[in-house]
Amino acid sequence: MKTVFRFLVTATGLVLILMALGIILFSTQAGSAADLAIERGLGYVYQSKVTVDRVTFLPRESSIAVHGLAVFNPAPFKEGAAIEIEEIFIRVDAATLLSEMPVVNEIVLRGAEFNVRYEAGRGTNLGKLDENASRLQSTGNSTGYSALLSRNYSITEFRSETSQLNVSAGFIPGAGLNLTLAPFDVQGLGGSGPVSTARICTLLIRNVFREALSMRGLIQPVADRFNDELQRLREHEAAN
């Protein structure tokens, strides 16, 4: 299930931008500022609308909880949420926040939902988000958000509760296809090495396609489109 984890942590990895800022994390008056930082950070990466309901800080536990995060479809796809997560809970090693490689002790995702929309001639909404993130990484810009996205982190443990994968397209009979991703627990993300948020953003969306292709219940037309989309994303990465 590591591929599923790597996809789900896309939004989580960008929340780590806040940790790198340090001051925001433990400020008692930073709720609205943190909401805005996450929305702008993710919006910058994905070139799409992002909303956050609220952010809760737990200084005694060295933790942060992001509630109601949604990443919306990028242009030219029709309006709607591509990624929705009810809560992301992150516990960090406070002593490492401003170090060269901050340590994240625990990440828990609750109520994650991923809505894959396929449109002829455009591919998928998640594929377009992947392209936007990949393009950002390839610019080599070392200022602003781009510099923060190149920061490395050590992630000790990730746990995800049951999540949902929803697929919609004209070639799918009925209203669409709904698949359940089982809970899982991954230790030591990235093996023994650090994890770059910017690199995660260019890899994780395609990993969910790989995971979906291995799931029972995925109808053949969807599997064919997912295979095509994976190949397109690989070619896009190679070109950049």
Domain range spanning residue 59?
Answer: 2-239
Residue 79 and residue 62 in contact, taking contact as beta carbons nearer than 8 Å: no
Number of structural domains (the chain) is 1
Q: Which tokens sit at 198? A: 């910017």
pTM of this structure: 0.78
Of residues 111, 99, 109, 186, the one with CA closest to residue 151: 99
Residues 158 and 193: their CA atoms lie apart, in Å, by 16
Residue 85 and residue 71 in contact, taking contact as beta carbons nearer than 8 Å: no
What's at 173, amino acid-wise?
P
Q: Which tokens sit at 2? A: 């590591």
Output DSSP code: residue 78: P
Q: What is the pLDDT along the chain (240 residues), one digit of tens a residue?
A: 554 444 444 445 555 544 444 444 444 445 567 788 788 878 887 899 999 999 888 888 888 898 999 999 999 999 999 999 999 898 888 888 777 788 888 888 899 898 999 988 888 999 999 888 777 766 555 445 555 556 677 877 777 788 888 998 877 766 778 888 767 665 545 455 666 555 555 555 766 777 777 777 778 888 888 888 888 888 877 776
